[in-house]
Amino acid sequence: MHTNRLAHEKSPYLQQHAHNPVDWYAWGEEAFEKARREDKPIFLSIGYSTCHWCHVMERESFESESTAELLNRSFVSIKVDREERPDVDRIYMMFVQATSGGGGWPMSVWLTPDLKPFYGGTYYPPRDAYGRPGFPTVLHSIAEAWSTDRARIAQSSDQILQQLRQHLDAGQDRGGWLDESVLESGFNVFRRGFDTRLGGFGGAPKFPRPVVHNFLLRYHAGAGNEEARDMVLATLRHMAAGGMNDQIGGGFHRYSVDERWFLPHFEKMLYDQAQLAVSYLEARQITGDDQYAAVAREIFEYVLRDMTSPEGAFYSAEDADSVIDPEAPSVKGEGAFYVWTREEIDRLLGSHSADWFCYRYGVEAGGNVLQDPHQEFAGKNILYQAHSIEETAERFDADPGAVRQALEEARPKLLDYRARRVRPHLDDKLLTAWNGMMISAFALGFQALGDERYLEAARKAAGFILGEMYDSETGILKRRHRAGDTAIPGFLDDYASFTGALVDLYESCFEAAYLERAVRLAEKAVELFEDKLAGGFFSSAEGDASLVLRMKEDYDGAEPSGNSVMTLALLRLAAITGRNDFREAADRALAAAAPRLRSAPVAAPQMLVAYAFARSKPRQIVLAGEYDEPGTRNFLQSAWRRFLPHRVLILVDEASRETLARYVPAIVSMTKLDGKPAAYVCQDFACRLPTANLEQFNELLN
């Protein structure tokens, strides 16, 4: 068996390639120096450990002795985990998208020894087919061009890099105005793309994009637009009913291959769980409907059961592929862990309950996957909510209560059975940005549902990051922890997401230490990442010579951009602390984003969320009292259960009064009324008369 230097890396993705015959290097000076010394081009391969097509290209090409020989002879080969190094990924993804019109992973890019890209694409097949060159053909062509036409490659790479710089610079100094019209424009764009029959935006494949939900629900709250709310609610209901939602174990798969949310791409990402939990919780706050709360609880149970480290932080992802037959552990298939035969269900549940279960979840004797060109799911069933419990009871002339109870008893039986299968590969690295999202979700889960376990989960994860991934002396946050190793200076995403998480934790338990740490992180983020000339934030700090571009990420996709999250975090902190410098940094970021928001609001819905917060003059809800006093908790629960996106919560108790008064001196005078907890509802800390009466408080909130 081959072993290359990736065996010494901590990234699960890099370790997956540690026994390839390819002479892989990690991203770093050792590889760059070799390329310069031997005057060879660099082959850069970027992916992540739960990427299906990354696995395919590894099996087809990187495990091939002949292909490895080509790579080792003519190139210096570098592997990058895009989840560890999003800065590297963004640079070369922009190049691939600009030059090929598409992008994705695995990403394959060829660079000069000084790291300038000159050719790139995504997945390459192992041989020429359908008019498309195979990977060996591409390698031969590039090696030949490098030896015979070096000057043209050098000129081309210089020109491409210059064009990319010009593209990044375009609009950096324009800034401009924003008004309410950008919110209306954003709503209209999503309205036009909404699937009125099946929910979601656009056609197949359908990706969850929770930042769109965030914007539309806030647009509904601000403008009273019921259509904006209803688009989100319909999408959430259809997603929850489909096969993209793990009907047995909870949690959502990455995306749906078809338009009806039935056939998923089976990988599970932490950032999806975090953001979708928030969407379902906010739907519950708006509607009071427990169907949305139930889905959020299932997400949380999945994360606590399968995605939580012994230290309390959250793992990154589970693979789409899994072992088909334990007797052949090297043979894996898409979704094998999650699919079922009718015979399995009959055997586990018995004929009576099995009939109900199969009708409810769309199970067919011959399998229910009709669009299966590769016959991956022959005879198998993907569970989805084909019929309601009431429809199931009517179909079998049964009591709905008995059907409901039988189905509730069936789920743990199937879950226990499934747990004995070979689980998909777990990417067990801990990423600060994604943990921040999950901490925020658990904090909101505690607020909206009142489950103390969720607050404890959020606190434990935050404690791990503060203890293991944060240097309190320098203020530096790290990106990744795995197998006892903390590494990689944090990016804007890490600072932004974790700052927001600490604010959410503060608004859940009101320990001033969380607020103070959020303030310190925000200060450090502004110091490290703000564009002092044009406003907004770079994705990475200055000083990394290996980055040929310093980028500003402003696209809110599967994950929100660091710019959007940081801007909103600064606005919230400004509303809590009265810090004008935070508000001014956020205003500069909004001004920098203005051209993008005016021309393409669909690209940045989370920045629209930040803008809506900024223009709303957020309310400060200040409660004077001890956290555990019944009167205080009544006020808190009343605020927590409502959807109030343009507010901040502050608790003035004896432990935190002095700390809070350092930010806002007026807090000194905010005290109880006649010995009872009191509520002050304010804007810019100009407050209405305080009340100790819950009904009056509710009227103020309404």
pLDDT in tens, 486-520: 999 999 999 999 999 999 999 999 999 999 999 99
Residues 6+ apart with CB under 8 A from 396: 355, 356, 359, 403
Check: CB of residue 445 under 8 Å from CB of residue 281.
yes
Q: What is the mean pLDDT of residues 206-223?
A: 97
Q: Can you give the pLDDT at residue 126?
A: 95
Q: Can you give the pLDDT at residue 175?
A: 65
Q: Which two tokens stand for residue 257?
A: 């291959």
Q: Can you give the pLDDT at residue 563?
A: 98
Tokens 């009907």 correspond to 247
Alpha-carbon dihedral angle through residues 504, 510, 512, 513, given to the nearest 10 degrees: -60
Q: What is the mean pLDDT of residues 337-344?
A: 97
Q: What is the mean pLDDT of residues 205-218?
A: 97
Q: Can you give the pLDDT at residue 465?
A: 98
For the chain, the maximum distance between any two Cα atoms, rounded to a whole number of angstroms, is 88
Q: Which two tokens stand for residue 660?
A: 């809070």
Residue 131: pLDDT over 90: no
Whole-angstrom Cα distance, residue 361 to residue 350? 16
Residue 302: pLDDT over 80: yes
Distance of alpha carbon 471 from its chain centroid, rounded? Answer: 25
Among residues 490, 487, 488, which one has the least CA distance to residue 477?
A: 490
Q: Can you give the pLDDT at residue 172?
A: 58
Helix (H) / strand (E) element for 648: namely strand 647-652
| pLDDT tier, 171 (very low <50, low <70, confident <90, very high otherwise) | low
- Please give the CATH architecture assigned to the domain spanning 5-169: 3-Layer(aba) Sandwich (3.40)
Tokens 């932004």 correspond to 496
Q: Can you give the pLDDT at residue 174?
A: 59
Residue 176: pLDDT over 80: no
> Where exactly does CATH 3.40.30.10 map onto the chain?
5-169
Q: Count CA atoms closer than 13 A to 149's CA, side-chain side.
A: 11
Whole-angstrom Cα distance, residue 702 to residue 697? 9
Q: Which tens digit of pLDDT belongs to each residue from 601-627?
A: 999 999 999 999 999 989 999 999 999
Q: Order across the sheet with 317-318: list the strands.
A: 268-269, 317-318, 426-427
CA distances from 349 to 247, 248, 343 (A): 16, 14, 10
Residues 6+ apart with CB under 8 A from 375: none
Q: Can you give the pLDDT at residue 373?
A: 79
Q: Can you give the pLDDT at residue 16?
A: 97
CA geometry: angle 293, 298, 300, nearest 5 deg: 95
Q: Can you give the pLDDT at residue 166?
A: 87
Q: Can you give the pLDDT at residue 173?
A: 52
Q: Can you give the pLDDT at residue 329?
A: 86
Amino acid at 231: M
Mean pLDDT computed over every residue of the chain: 95
CATH topology of domain 619-701: Glutaredoxin (3.40.30)
Strands 42-47 and 76-81, bridge-based pairing: parallel
Helix (H) / strand (E) element for 508: namely helix 492-509
Q: Which tens digit of pLDDT belongs to each residue from 412-441?
A: 999 999 999 999 999 999 999 999 999 999
Q: What is the mean pLDDT of residues 535-548?
A: 95
Enter the pTM of the model. Answer: 0.97
pLDDT-wise least confident of 69-73, 260-264, 624-628, 682-686:
682-686
Q: Can you give the pLDDT at residue 169?
A: 79
Q: Can you give the pLDDT at residue 364?
A: 97
With b meaning 16 or more CB within 10 Å and e meaning fewer, what string describes 645-680?
Answer: bbbbbbbbbeebbeebeebbeebeebebeeeebbbb
Amino acid at 396: F
Number of residues that this document lists for the chain:
702
Query: For the chain, what percent of residues have pLDDT higher than 70?
Result: 99
Whole-angstrom Cα distance, residue 201 to residue 207? 9
Among residues 171, 48, 61, 35, which one has the least CA distance to residue 116?
A: 35
Q: What is the mean pLDDT of residues 552-570?
A: 96
Q: Which tens digit of pLDDT belongs to each residue from 348-388?
A: 999 889 999 999 999 999 999 998 877 889 999 999 999 99
CA geometry: angle 274, 279, 281, nearest 5 deg: 95
Q: What is the DSSP letter of 504?
A: H
Check: CB of residue 410 under 8 Å from CB of residue 603.
no
Q: Which two tokens stand for residue 447?
A: 């607020």
